[in-house]
Amino acid sequence: MKVSHVAATAVLAAATLYSVLPAAAGSPEPGRHHHHPHRPVDVDQPLRDLAGRQLLVGTAVDHAAYTADAEYRERVHTEFSSITAENVMKWEVVEPVRGERDYAAADELVAAAKRNGQRVRGHTLVWHNQVPAWLTEGVESGEIDRHELRGILRRHIVDEVSHFRGRIYEWDVVNEAIDDEGNLRDTLWLRELGPGYIADAFRWAHRADPKAKLFLNDYNVEGLSAKSDAYYRLARELLADRVPVHGFGAQGHYGVQYGFHSAAEIAKNFGRFEALGLRTAVTEADVRMVMPTDNVKLQAQAQGFSALLQGCLLSRRCESFTFWGFTDRYSWVPGWFEGEGAATLLDESFQPKPAYREMQAVLALAGR
Ligand code: G3I
Residue type, 328: D
Cβ partners under 8 Å of residue 95, min gap 6: 101, 102, 132, 156
User: Which pLDDT score, from 0 to 100, does residue 1 have?
Assistant: 34
- Closest by CA position to 239, among listed 206, 277, 274: 277
Q: CA-CA distances (angstroms) from residue 237 to 195, 198, 233, 251? A: 12, 11, 6, 22
User: Which pLDDT score, from 0 to 100, does residue 23 have?
Assistant: 39
User: Number of H helices and number of E strands within the chain?
Assistant: 15, 10
User: Which pLDDT score, from 0 to 100, does residue 368 have?
Assistant: 62
**C-alpha–C-alpha distance, residues 256 and 344, integer Å:** 12
User: Which pLDDT score, from 0 to 100, does residue 270 have?
Assistant: 98
> How many Cβ atoms sit within 10 Å of the Cβ of residue 196?
11
> How many Cβ atoms sit within 10 Å of the Cβ of residue 11?
11
- Burial tier of 46 (Cβ tally within 10 Å: 0-12, 13-18, 19+): middle
User: Which pLDDT score, from 0 to 100, does residue 367 have?
Assistant: 81
Residues with CB under 6 A from ligand 1: 86-87, 129-130, 175, 251, 284, 332
**C-alpha–C-alpha distance, residues 37 and 45, integer Å:** 19
82-218: which CATH topology? TIM Barrel (3.20.20)
User: Which pLDDT score, from 0 to 100, does residue 322 have?
Assistant: 99
Residue type, 180: D
125 within 8 A of 157, measured Cβ to Cβ: yes
**C-alpha–C-alpha distance, residues 72 and 326, integer Å:** 9
User: Which pLDDT score, from 0 to 100, does residue 277 have?
Assistant: 98
DSSP states along 4-61: -S-HHHHHHHHHHHHHHHHHHHT-S-TTTS---TTS--B--S-HHHHHTTT-EEEEEE
Catalytic residue among 176, 222, 274, 319: 176
User: Which pLDDT score, from 0 to 100, does residue 199 have?
Assistant: 99
- Burial tier of 352 (Cβ tally within 10 Å: 0-12, 13-18, 19+): middle
Among protein residues, the one with the nearest Cα to ligand 1's atom 23 is: 332
58 within 8 A of 321, measured Cβ to Cβ: yes
Catalytic residue among 170, 222, 284, 319: 284
pLDDT tens digits for the chain (368 residues)? Answer: 333 333 334 444 444 444 444 334 334 444 566 666 666 778 999 999 999 999 999 999 999 999 999 999 999 999 999 999 999 999 999 999 999 999 999 999 999 999 999 999 999 999 999 999 999 999 999 999 999 999 999 999 999 999 999 999 999 999 999 999 999 999 999 999 999 999 999 999 999 999 999 999 999 999 999 999 999 999 999 999 999 999 999 999 999 999 999 999 999 999 999 999 999 999 999 999 999 999 999 999 999 999 999 999 999 999 999 999 999 999 999 999 999 999 999 999 999 999 999 999 999 999 86
**C-alpha–C-alpha distance, residues 29 and 150, integer Å:** 42
Q: Is 82-218 the same fold as 1-59+244-368?
A: yes
Distance between Cα 271 and ligand 1 center (Å): 32
CATH 3.20.20.80 fits 1-59+244-368, yes or no: yes
The residue ranges of every structural domain in the chain are 1-59+244-368, 82-218
- Closest by CA position to 52, among listed 72, 36, 71, 32: 32
Among protein residues, the one with the nearest Cα to ligand 1's atom 4 is: 93
